[in-house]
Structures are given as structure tokens and as C-alpha cells.
């Protein structure tokens, strides 16, 4: 057992559901007790999703515990098949169902016979993999299922497109700025005259998965999700893949050079040369290179920072801070323990120490020990920063609603470099501003604003009402105090008791 | 009585495929209520992730709850669960030193049959801290019923009321003085001994249900106006202040989801249960007080006027809701009481979805619902236990209610289809009890209506793409 109240990566089924609900017309059915469907709440709330989340539960209750699910799961699958006519239904085990050890594969087989939809069982072990690993696994499973199906049916067309084209793999729901990143990647590829063949899973249709091999290469922007699929496609169809995350100026250029290599491998006549494009973008389109030279950024030189997040974002941001802005990264870390080796290799030479942990208290202690000028981390680090009075820029999942901005905020590509520069700069200057204010005595906002008729204290609060007032949370206490006093004056009451407080609340039309 | 109800009230039961919060979410409000407690949820990553997401910002405030996260070794019994729990509880004792540790059992502990009830007394002796076990799992319960399991477990821990009536001196209580001065809004009156005597007279009354302390004292003071003294609350602000219980103690619930607690108090602690409607809305509050008074043989004073006054204060909101229709999808068991109050406000309720309905515990509330419908001359809404969200959405498509009270999983999709929604969980966390807070309920209910009145003329009510199949 482990004592914990916060985790960076969720349980495995969340990863599966994220992949399943990113596809168009795919429905996931969880084998789970009541209340385990809070994934729907997350998606509806955080992503402000307009459509009903295509996830339902086949409820595990007392009866199921006693007699097994029997017909229940099969009935739920066939019912959903009739109601929604999805292309694919993914039966998703949860930690509860994995202990029950029911033969879910058997349910899937039985349900496939009667449903028009394809039905598969997500193959994840709850006690060995986390949300990200499960998502990676599920995506590969779905792709494999459809490619093998196409091969069996003889509909698999392995010829590549005439023009250079790419698949983008790993954009999905509840991913950190995924939607914006996807748009930016599409734009980047378009400017290089590369067609987008497919984007999966977000908005993709499982019927189109058989067209994946038509692309010249695969682009996997995030390490956490999509690599398994890319490796499978390479093994089976010889498709090359690029897994350099185009985050920051240097890495974006590196990624484009990789694309160039892959395109030129398949072109016989006119070889492409993207160097002029890289140069133009770096020096004039992206503002980040200029920002690094500007006076502003000079002030950031040698400032201490700490980075923590998923492997992709933490590694990339570390390199940007150290290599592109001259900021000293004292410690960088990731909660993707399964990817520790890769991570260490990536950040080698860009930071003083590396922390691999999924225990937020260790991260908090590390930050307290180092006392950096700014933190770049997840929502958890943001709150650690609040407690220690250190500004924090959020660069990675776990996410909050404010990480789903309506405005365009990619982290990848050339526009991404601008966004990151803003984020870094604002984190540091805010810290600086605070610091200066402290030195010069703070903002002068001590004046009390009252809406009352007069502010002379002709009112006394007795000890009980004083106590009651102190029970009220700080942020509304002032308002309640003012309203009560206003009410008391209107009724010519001088002694404020608890009852007067209640009466004031009742009488108030606000 | 219950027979008579079922003649006119119809109860349906659907598939139970509905969305609600897991009952372990009760730690969110209970750890705040019981200030010296620590809640340990014995479960998996799934439970932890739920709490983390459901509690949002609270999680960062070093809350007094934690997960005992089960790992593979715990599931396959390679690790000794007693030793594991001991290790964690020692850690908790060292870091927080609570007066009580509450173990919340989950689905996983049920399935692997972890004997929490068996281990708790042993560990309690070893640690010297009381350990209360509540099995608030999703196999058996929904959302607010979590609190029910915790309070039922705590009811066993309340000290026994000593039959020796100790001779307390009658203290001139300044509270009481203030109370009467308030009634007359003028100088303090002399309190007659008779009234003082009356206050001391009623047999011990314990109210059960976790409310914010302000709301609890509001309800206590409403009863005090009728010269009824509340002798204690379950739960109290601190675990060490649990109320005395015994065979001549009267108990009364303040929330509709506390049926197990009620049963435990009656059967195991021999208390006398006062079955009343719940003090939600001015009508409910008045009926609740009247019922308690009638049990104690006390004639109520000024209650009618008090209720009228509150309705008077609500006038601006009532104008907004009158004639509007509501659909409760059902997820927190407050639905019957809220529907009853909204009908009294002049709204039309199409359907009351509810996870579970204890017809005996809610008998008085159901009766009030019936009489309210008669009084407002509208048909009694259908009551659907264990609803099926998919079917409900189909029904909503037919009915096009003015307001759907629903969980967050459906709120945004319904809004996108032009149906006003109010998120039901807010009713669980907002202050909705008593006369004083009636306004807050309507504040919540009217918010979407007020917001959407502002947007009405923009012509953007349907914000979904037309090709969607699951359109409403």
C-alpha cells in the first residue's frame, strides 16, 4: 500500500477511454461500478465538449459480485450497437473488473456475433501500466485490429501517395494543448508541401485506418502516446517514423531536417531542401530567436529554474530554457518512470540534477530546497509554487480547465516557440514584479471600500456573532460583514447578534 | 401510510445506467466538517484519480484525507494488509495526530474481502486512536449515500446517554436573551422563568446530517425560537464532541439520503426517530419544525408568518420560475425535496430521477410532495428510481424542459442542444437548508435561466453540428 492523495498519471482505463473517445463513432463500454464514469465529467468539463461522451458503463454491482455479469455486458454492448450504431465498441476493464477475473473476451466474442459494430476488448493491465502507457497500447491495438482486418478482407492498399504525405499520430482528447499543436503541425507540413494523410486518433474514423500505410512517413509528436503504433507500422509496413518533438527552435529545425531526409529517401528526381525555410522561420517568423537576443532575455541569464512534467514536455522545455534562453535549470524531472532512460539521455548536459518520481511530495521538497526563481511544471507544481511564493508556468499534464484555452496556444512548431517564450518571460517577470513590490512596500490597497451609509462604527458585534463571522470563509467575510451592518443600520439595531446575521441574509435581495 | 402513497404516487425503476459520483466523494465535505478527523480511502488509483479530479482545488490544500493505494501485492495477498494499514496509520498519526481515523472501504476492498471491520479494533488498541470503518463503495451506493455509511458507522461510537439527570444550574443564558430581543427588534425583554423552563423541558433531541456549521446553527436557532433545545448533532464539529444517544433520545434527519443512519439510530441505539419532511425550502423547513414540535407537544409560534416572510423575500425569483418546467436526471438523492420545493414555487416538474428511494425514511417528504402537487393543482411527476440516462435524454428531447438538473457529464452536451442545465452537485455543496437559505436554492435554479435570458436573442441556442446522430 502507498499513502497518496495526488497522482500525476491516472489509472489505465482513463488512457483507453481517451483514445477510444477521440475517434469518431467509437463507443467505449466500461465494466465498472457506479461512479467510475467520471471520465465523462472530465471530458465534458475540461474540454467543454459539446457532444455526449461516447462512454457508458456496464455497471458492476452486488448482483454481479454474486453471480457474475452473465448477460449484462453482452446486453449492454448489443443495446449500444442498436442505439448509436458505432463502428467500433471497446470494452474497457477497470481495476475492479480486473480483480473479478470475468472472461470479458468471451463476452466480446459473443457480442460480436450479434452486433453490427466491431467489438474489441482493451488489453490493459491495471496494476502494471498507467494512463499514458494504456493509451499508447490501446491506440496500437485499434490500429493493428483494423489493418489486420483489411488484410484479411483484401482491401489493404499498400501503395504510397503520389505527393509526399504524413500521418500525425498521438493527438487525442484531454491532451495538453493537443488541439492547438495539431493545427500547428498541419500548418508546418503544409508549408513544406507535405499532405496530411491521417491524424489519429483525434477526429479519425476507424474505417480509414487501412489508409495509414499510404503515407510516406509517420510523425509522432509526443513520446507518451503513438510510439507503439509507429513502431508497429514500421515493422509491418516499413514506414519510417519521426519522433523528434518539434518544440523549441532547435528541435523544430531538427524535426524538419528529419522530414527532409525521409522525403528525399522516397523521391528519385528533385530532392527537397528545407534549409531556407528553416532559416526564414527561425530568424523572422518565430520571434523566439530574436527574443533570446533581446535585452529582456539578458536579464534571465543564469536565473534558476526547475522543470517537471511528462517526459516529452519536461525534456523539451529543459532544453529550450538551457540552450535557447540561457536559463540555469537546476533540476528537471518526469513522472514517466517507465521512460526514465530516454529522459536522462535527453536532458544530459542541460541541467544539474534529474529527478524521476511520481511522488509529488518529493517534487515539492526538491523545489523548496532549490528555491528557483520560476517553476515549469504541472498543475501540482503550480500549487507548490503558490505555497512557496514562486511563479510557475504550466507546461504539461495533469491539466486543469485553464489548460484548454480558447485562443490559439500551441507548444509545437514556430508559433509554439512564441507561446513558450511568452510563458517563460511572464513567469519570470511576475516573480520579479512581486519581488520589487515587496522591497518597496507593496501595493497600497489597504483602503476599505464600504457601500454603507456611514462607516463610523456605531455597531457592536457580540462575541457569538463575531465567532460566527470568523467561521465564514475569508473571501466572502467582508461582504457579509458589510451587508449585516447595513441591514442593522436600516433597522436601527446597534447590537449585532447571530440572529441579526441570519435575518440580514434573509432580507437581502442579493 | 406507505400504501396510501403508492396509490397515487407511481414509482418506476429503470436500468441503473446513470451517471453519479462515487460515494467516496463524501470525504470531500466530511473531512471539513469533522475538524479533528482523518479519512483514509482504501482503494486503487481509480478512486484516487476520481477524488483528485472531483475535489479540484481542495486537493492542494493539504487535506486531511489520503488514499491507501492498493498495489498488486495487496490484491494478490502477498503483503499482509494489517501490517500495511498499520504502517500507513502510524504515519498519519505521526504527521497529523487526528482524534479519529475513518477508513473508507471501496469496491476493491469488497471484492478481495479485506476485513476492515475485523482489523480496525485491533489496530485501534495498538495505536490508541479510534478507527471507524465505513464501506462507501460504488457497488452498493451512490454519491451522497457515502455520508450515510460514515454517519451510520459513527452512530455506534456515540456515548450512551446517562439516565441520571444531572441537576444543572439554570444559567441565565445570554443567547436566549438575544434571541428574544431579536423577536421584538427592540430593547431586551425580561425573560420569564416559564419560557426558560420550557427551553429546558424537551427531551434530548439529536439532529443527524452533515451541514456547514453556519447552517447547523441556523437550524438550531429556528428550533430555539420554538423553545426547543437541540442537544447535539451527528456529526459534530469535532469527533470528540459526538452527541449522547440512548433510548429516550429523539433523533431527526436533515437530509433525505440518511436512511441507513436513521435505521442504525433506531435499531441499534434505540433512539426515537421523528419522521419529517426535510428542511429544504421554506415549506419544508416549516413542516420539519412543525413535526418536531408536534412530537414534543409544543404549539408553534409565529411560524406561519415566518414562512410568509421568506416567500415574500423570494418574490423576484418566483416571478422568474413560475410556470417553467424542470427535469431531474437524478444523482444525489436530494431530488424529491428539491422537486417539492420547486413545485411550491410554481414550477412544473416532469420527472424526478433518483438513485435510490427509501419510501419509509422519505415517507413524510413524499406525502408533502403529494399535498404540494394538489395544492398547486399540477399532476404528480413520475418518480424514476435507478434511471437510465440514455432513455432520459430521449424523454427530454420530447419534453424540451426549461431546465434540466443534471450531472456534469451531460450538462455541456445538453446546453449545446439548447436545454438550460443546472449542475446537480452544486446543490450538495451549497447551503440550502432552513428558512435563511431558501434564496440560495433559487439563486442556483434561476442562474441558467437568468444567464440564458441575456443570450436569448442572439439566436445561437443550438450549437451542435447537424450531422450528429445523438441530437436532442
In tens, the pLDDT along B42-100 reads: 999 999 999 888 776 666 667 889 999 998 889 888 889 999 999 999 999 998 999 99
Q: What is the pLDDT of residue B52?
A: 87
Residue A7 forms contact with B (CB below 8 Å): yes
Question: Which of A38, A59, A84 is the closest to B53 by Cβ?
Answer: A38
Instruction: Give A91: exposed, middle or buried? Use CB within 10 Å, 0-12, 13-18, 19+.
Output: buried
Shortest Cα distance, chain A CAs vs residue B231, angstroms: 18
Backbone angles phi, psi at A164, to 5 degrees: -60, 135
> Which of A21, A34, A68, A465 is most worth mutating to test chain B (most B CB atoms within 10 A of its CB)?
A34
Per-residue pLDDT, A291: 87
In A, minimum Cα distance to B389 occurs at A56
Residues from chain A that touch B141, judged by Cβ atoms under 8 A, are: 34
pLDDT at A14: 95
The answer for A 163-202 residues in CB contact with B (under 8 A) is none
State the cell numbers at A374: 520560476
The model's pTM: 0.87
The pLDDT of A60-85, averaged and rounded, is 90
C-alpha closest to that of B262 among B152, B358, B158, B364: B152
Q: Cβ(B174)–Cβ(B286) under 8 Å?
A: no
Under an 8 A CB cutoff, do A6 and B59 touch? Answer: yes
**Other Cβ atoms within 10 Å of B284 Cβ, number:** 27
pLDDT of res. A501: 87
Q: Distance between CA B163 and CA B150 in Å, rounded? A: 27
> Mind giving me the DSSP string for B275-329?
----SBHHHHHHHHHHHHHHHTT----SHHHHHHHHHHHTHHHHHHHTT-EEEE-
pLDDT of residue A509: 56
Q: Which pLDDT tens digit goes with each residue over B172-224?
A: 444 444 444 444 444 444 445 555 555 557 899 999 999 999 999 999 999 99
Question: Is A493 in CB contact (< 8 Å) with chain B?
Answer: yes
Distance of CA B152 to the CA centre of its chain: 14
The answer to whether A60 faces chain B, any CB pair under 8 Å, is yes
Directed axis angle between helix B259-267 and helix B145-155, to 10°? 20
Say what angle helices A413-439 and A178-191 make with each other, to 10 degrees: 130
Where are any strands of DSSP class E within B176-261? Answer: 205-208, 232-234, 250-253
Asked if B44's CB is within 8 angstroms of A11's CB, the reply is yes
Decide: A137 and A228 in contact? Cβ < 8 Å. Answer: yes
**Strand positions, DSSP E, A14-117:** 26-32, 55-59, 88-93
Q: Which of B45, B71, B182 sits opposite A7 (nearest CB)?
A: B45
Q: How far apart are CA B256 and CA B337, in angstroms?
A: 8
Q: Which residues of B touch A173 (CB under 8 A)?
A: none
Cβ B19–A11 below 8 Å, yes or no?
Answer: no
* Mutation target vs B (from A506, A507, A509, A510; most B CBs, 10 A cutoff): A506
Which residues of A are part of a known binding site for [4Fe-4S] cluster?
Answer: 36
* Whole-angstrom distance, CA of residue A178 vs CA of residue A65: 39
Quick one: average pLDDT of A323-339?
94
Contact: B69, A2; criterion CB under 8 Å: yes
Per-residue pLDDT of B294-326, as tens digits, reads 999 999 999 999 999 999 999 999 999 999 999
Give the pLDDT of residue A440.
66
- Asked if residue A462 lies in contact with residue A495, where contact means CB atoms within 8 angstroms, the answer is yes
pLDDT in tens, B365-409: 999 999 999 999 999 999 999 999 999 999 999 999 999 999 889
What are the pLDDT digits (tens) for A407-433? Answer: 999 999 999 999 999 999 888 876 667
Residue B178 is nearest to which of A61, A468, A499, comparing CB atoms? A499
C-alpha distances in Å from residue A26, one per residue of A41, A314, B470:
18, 32, 13
Question: Is A475 at the interface with chain B, CB within 8 A?
Answer: no
The rounded mean pLDDT for chain A is: 90
Residue A329, pLDDT > 60, answer: yes
Inform me whether the C-beta atom of residue A460 falls under 8 Å from chain B C-beta atoms. Answer: no
List, for residues B445-465, the tens digit of each pLDDT value: 999 888 877 777 777 777 777
Q: Does the structure show a pLDDT above 60 at A456?
A: no
Lowest mean pLDDT among A256-260, B5-9, B82-86, B224-228: B5-9
Residues A175/A199, Cβ–Cβ less than 8 Å: no
DSSP, res A321: I
Q: What is the DSSP letter of A502?
A: H
Beta sheet of B250-253, edge-to-edge order = B232-234, B205-208, B250-253, B272-273
Which helix (DSSP H) or strand (DSSP E) does residue B405 occupy? strand B403-406
Counting residues of chain B whose pLDDT is more than 70, the rounded percentage is 88
**Are B412 and A49 within 8 A, CB to CB?**
yes
Burial class (CB in 10 A: 0-12, 13-18, 19+), B339: buried
Cβ separation of A5 and B48 shorter than 8 Å? yes
- DSSP H helices, A320-378, are 340-347, 360-370
Please name the member of A2, A33, A383 whose beta carbon is closest to the beta carbon of B71: A2
pLDDT at A302: 84
- Lowest average pLDDT, out of A20-29, A74-83, B45-54, goes to B45-54
Inter-chain contact B66–A4, Cβ cutoff 8 Å? yes
- The pLDDT, as a whole number, for residue B21 is 92
CA distance A138 to chain B (A): 18
pLDDT at B3: 41
Tell me the mean pLDDT in the region B230-256.
Answer: 94
Chain B residues lying within 8 Å of A99, measured CB to CB: 75, 108, 111-112
Q: Quick one: chain A helix, strand, coil %, rounded to 5?
A: 50, 15, 35
Q: Is B107 annotated as a binding residue?
A: yes
- Closest by Cα among A225, A234, A221, A237 to A316: A221
Q: How far apart are CA A376 and CA A381, in angstroms?
A: 8
Whether the pLDDT of residue A450 is over 90: the answer is: no
Residue A475 has pLDDT above 70, yes or no: no
User: CB within 8 A of A146, min separation 6: which ones?
Assistant: A206, A207, A209, A210
Residues B409-443: pLDDT tens digits?
999 999 999 899 999 999 998 999 999 999 999 99
Nearest CA in chain A to B61: A383
- What pLDDT shows up at residue A438? 64
Determine contact: A128 vs chain B, CB below 8 A.
yes
Number of continuous H segments (helices) and E segments (strands) in chain B:
21, 14
- Per-residue model confidence (pLDDT) at position B175: 44
Are A14 and B44 within 8 A, CB to CB? no
Is residue A34 within 8 Å of residue B20, measured between CB atoms? Answer: yes
Cα separation of B288 and B278, whole Å? 6
Which residues touch B227 (CB under 8 Å, ≥6 apart)? Answer: B195, B198, B199, B201, B202, B298
Length of chain B: 472
**Contact criterion met (CB < 8 Å) for B468 and A48:** no
Asked if the C-beta of A156 comes within 8 angstroms of chain B's C-beta atoms, the answer is: no
Q: What is the pLDDT of residue B283?
A: 96
Angle at A494 between CA A493 and CA A500, to 5 degrees: 55
Amino acid at each position: 500500500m502507498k499513502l497518496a492523495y495526488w497522482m500525476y498519471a491516472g489509472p489505465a482505463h482513463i488512457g483507453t477511454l481517451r483514445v477510444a473517445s477521440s475517434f469518431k463513432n467509437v463507443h467505449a463500454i466500461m465494466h465498472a461500478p457506479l461512479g467510475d464514469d467520471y471520465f465523462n465529467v472530465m471530458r465534458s468539463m475540461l474540454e467543454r465538449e459539446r457532444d455526449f461522451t461516447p462512454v457508458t458503463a456496464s455497471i458492476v454491482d452486488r448482483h454481479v459480485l454474486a453471480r457474475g455479469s452473465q448477460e449484462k455486458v453482452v446486453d449492454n454492448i448489443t443495446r449500444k450497437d442498436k442505439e448509436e450504431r458505432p463502428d467500433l465498441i471497446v470494452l474497457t476493464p477497470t481495476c475492479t473488473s480486473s480483480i473479478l477475473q470475468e472472461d470479458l473476451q468471451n463476452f466480446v466474442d459473443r457480442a460480436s456475433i450479434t452486433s453490427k459494430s466491431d467489438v474489441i476488448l482493451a488489453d490493459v493491465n491495471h496494476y502494471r501500466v498507467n494512463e499514458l502507457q494504456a493509451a499508447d497500447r490501446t491506440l496500437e491495438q485499434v490500429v493493428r485490429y483494423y489493418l489486420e482486418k483489411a488484410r484479411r478482407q483484401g482491401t489493404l492498399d499498400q501503395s504510397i501517395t503520389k505527393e509526399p504525405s504524413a500521418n500525425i499520430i498521438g493527438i487525442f482528447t484531454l491532451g495538453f494543448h493537443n488541439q492547438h499543436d495539431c493545427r500547428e503541425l498541419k500548418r508546418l507540413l503544409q508549408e513544406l508541401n507535405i499532405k496530411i494523410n491521417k491524424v489519429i486518433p483525434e477526429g479519425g474514423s476507424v474505417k480509414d485506418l487501412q489508409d495509414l500505410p499510404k503515407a510516406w512517413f509517420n510523425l509522432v509528436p509526443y513520446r507518451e502516446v503513438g510510439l507503439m503504433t509507429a513502431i508497429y507500422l514500421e515493422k509491418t509496413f516499413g514506414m519510417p517514423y519521426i519522433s523528434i518533438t518539434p518544440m523549441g527552435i532547435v528541435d523544430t529545425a531538427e524535426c524538419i531536417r528529419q522530414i527532409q531526409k525521409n522525403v528525399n529517401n522516397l523521391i528519385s528526381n528533385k530532392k527537397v531542401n528545407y534549409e531556407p525555410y528553416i532559416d526564414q522561420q527561425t530568424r523572422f517568423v518565430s520571434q523566439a530567436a530574436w527574443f533570446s537576443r533581446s535585452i529582456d532575455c539578458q536579464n534571465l541569464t543564469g536565473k534558476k529554474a526547475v522543470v517537471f512534467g511528462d517526459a516529452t514536455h519536461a525534456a523539451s522545455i529543459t532544453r529550450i530554457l538551457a540552450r535557447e534562453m540561457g536559463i540555469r535549470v537546476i533540476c528537471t524531472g518526469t513522472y514517466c518512470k517507465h521512460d526514465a532512460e530516454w529522459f536522462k539521455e535527453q536532458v544530459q548536459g542541460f541541467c544539474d540534477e534529474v529527478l524521476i518520481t511520481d511522488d509529488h511530495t518529493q517534487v515539492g521538497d526538491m523545489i523548496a530546497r532549490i528555491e528557483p526563481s520560476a517553476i515549469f511544471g504541472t498543475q501540482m507544481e503550480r500549487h507548490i509554487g503558490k505555497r512557496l511564493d514562486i511563479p510557475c508556468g504550466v507546461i504539461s499534464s495533469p491539466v486543469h480547465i485553464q489548460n484548454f484555452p480558447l485562443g490559439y496556444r500551441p507548444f509545437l512548431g514556430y508559433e509554439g516557440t512564441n507561446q513558450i517564450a511568452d510563458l517563460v518571460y511572464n513567469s519570470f517577470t511576475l516573480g520579479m514584479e512581486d519581488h520589487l513590490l515587496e522591497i518597496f512596500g507593496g501595493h497600497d490597497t489597504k483602503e476599505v471600500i464600504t457601500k454603507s451609509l456611514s462607516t463610523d462604527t456605531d455597531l457592536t458585534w457580540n462575541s457569538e456573532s463575531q465567532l460566527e463571522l470568523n467561521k465564514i470563509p475569508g473571501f466572502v467575510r467582508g461582504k457579509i460583514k458589510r451587508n449585516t451592518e447595513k441591514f442593522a443600520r436600516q433597522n436601527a439595531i446597534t447590537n449585532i447578534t447571530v440572529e441579526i446575521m441570519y435575518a440580514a441574509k434573509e432580507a437581502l435581495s442579493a | 401510510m406507505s400504501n396510501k402513497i403508492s396509490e397515487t404516487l407511481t414509482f418506476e425503476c429503470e436500468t441503473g445506467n446513470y451517471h453519479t459520483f462515487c460515494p467516496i466523494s463524501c470525504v470531500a465535505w466530511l473531512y471539513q466538517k469533522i475538524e479533528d478527523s482523518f479519512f483514509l480511502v482504501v482503494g486503487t488509483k481509480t478512486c484516487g484519480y476520481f477524488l483528485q479530479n472531483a475535489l479540484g482545488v481542495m486537493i492542494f490544500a493539504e487535506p486531511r484525507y489520503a488514499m491507501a493505494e492498493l498495489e498488486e501485492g495487496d490484491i494478490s495477498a502477498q503483503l499482509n494488509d494489517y501490517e500495511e494499514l498499520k504502517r500507513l496509520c502510524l504515519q498519519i498519526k505521526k504527521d497529523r495526530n487526528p482524534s479519529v481515523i475513518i477508513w473508507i472501504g471501496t469496491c476493491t476492498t469488497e471484492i478481495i474481502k479485506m476485513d476492515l471491520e475485523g482489523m480496525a479494533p485491533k489496530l485501534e488498541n495498538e495505536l490508541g486512536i479510534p478507527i471507524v470503518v465505513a464501506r462507501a463503495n460504488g457497488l452498493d451506493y451512490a454519491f451522497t449515500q457515502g455520508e450515510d455509511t460514515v454517519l451510520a458507522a459513527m452512530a455506534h461510537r456515540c456515548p450512551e446517554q446517562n439516565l441520571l439527570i444531572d441537576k444543572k444550574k439554570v444559567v441565565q443564558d445570554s443567547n436566549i436573551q438575544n434571541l428574544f430581543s431579536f423577536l421584538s427588534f427592540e430593547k431586551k425583554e425580561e425573560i420569564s422563568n416559564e419560557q426558560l423552563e420550557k427551553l429546558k423541558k424537551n427531551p434530548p433531541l439529536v439532529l443527524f446530517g452533515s451541514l456547514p456549521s453556519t447552517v447547523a446553527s441556523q437550524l438550531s436557532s429556528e428550533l430555539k425560537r420554538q423553545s426547543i433545545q437541540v442537544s447535539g448533532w451527528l456529526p459534530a464539529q469535532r469527533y470528540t464532541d459526538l452527541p449522547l444517544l440512548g433510548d429516550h433520545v429523539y433523533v431527526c434527519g436533515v437530509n433525505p439520503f440518511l436512511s441507513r443512519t436513521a435505521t442504525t439510530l433506531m435499531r441499534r441505539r434505540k433512539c426515537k426517530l421523528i419522521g419529517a419532511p426535510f428542511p429544504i425550502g421554506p415549506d419544508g423547513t416549516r413542516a420539519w419544525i412543525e413535526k418536531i414540535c408536534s412530537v414534543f407537544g409544543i404549539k408553534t409560534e409565529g411560524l406561519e408568518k415566518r414562512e410568509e416572510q421568506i416567500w415574500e423575500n423570494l418574490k423576484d425569483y418566483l416571478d422568474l420560475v413560475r410556470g417553467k418546467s424542470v427535469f431531474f436526471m437524478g444523482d444525489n438523492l436530494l431530488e424529491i425535496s428539491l422537486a417539492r420545493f420547486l413545485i411550491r414555487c410554481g414550477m412544473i416538474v416532469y420527472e424526478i430521477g433518483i438513485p435510490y428511494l427509501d419510501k419509509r425514511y422519505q415517507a413524510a417528504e413524499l406525502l408533502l410532495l403529494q399535498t404540494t402537487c394538489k395544492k398547486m393543482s399540477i399532476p404528480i411527476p413520475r418518480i424514476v428510481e435507478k434511471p437510465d440516462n440514455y432513455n432520459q435524454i430521449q424523454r427530454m428531447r420530447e419534453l424540451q424542459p426549461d431546465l434540466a438538473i443534471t450531472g456534469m457529464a451531460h450538462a455541456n452536451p445538453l446546453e449545446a442542444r439548447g436545454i438550460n442545465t443546472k449542475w446537480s452537485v452544486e446543490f450538495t455543496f451549497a447551503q440550502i437548508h432552513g428558512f435563511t437559505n431558501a434564496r440560495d436554492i433559487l439563486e442556483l435554479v434561476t442562474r441558467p435561466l437568468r444567464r440564458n435570458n441575456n443570450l436569448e436573442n442572439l439566436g445561437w441556442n443550438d450549437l451542435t453540428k447537424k450531422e450528429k446522430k445523438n441530437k436532442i
